[in-house]
Amino acid sequence: MADEEGPEKIKARVIIEILGKPKEHVEKTLKEYVDKIKEDKDFEITNEKFADAKEQDNMWAAFVELEFLAKGMPALMGFSFDYMPSSIEVIEPEELKIKYNDLSNFFNDLQAKLHNVDMAIKQARNENQFLRKNTNTLLRNLVTVALHNGPKDLEKLSKITGVVEGEMKKFLATVVKLGIIQEEKGTYSLKNE
pLDDT in tens, 71-91: 988 888 888 888 889 999 999
Which CATH architecture group holds 121-190?
Answer: Orthogonal Bundle (1.10)
Give the mean pLDDT per block of 10 residues along the chain (193 residues). Answer: 63 93 90 92 92 89 93 86 89 84 84 88 95 92 90 91 90 89 90 69
Amino acid at 15: I
CA 91 to CA 137: how far, in whole Å?
57
For strands 59-71 and 54-56, give the pairing.
antiparallel
| Size (the chain), residues | 193
| pTM assigned to the model | 0.59
Question: Phi and psi at residue 162, in whole multiples of 5°?
Answer: 80, 10
Residue 61 contacts residue 19 (beta carbons within 8 Å)? yes
What is the per-residue pLDDT across 111-136, written as a single tens digit (0 to 9) for each? 888 888 899 999 999 999 999 999 98
Residue ranges of the domains in the chain? 9-90, 121-190
CA 153 to CA 145: how far, in whole Å?
14
pLDDT value of residue 69: 93
> Which of helix, strand or coil describes residue 6?
strand
For the domain made up of 9-90, the CATH class stated in words is alpha beta
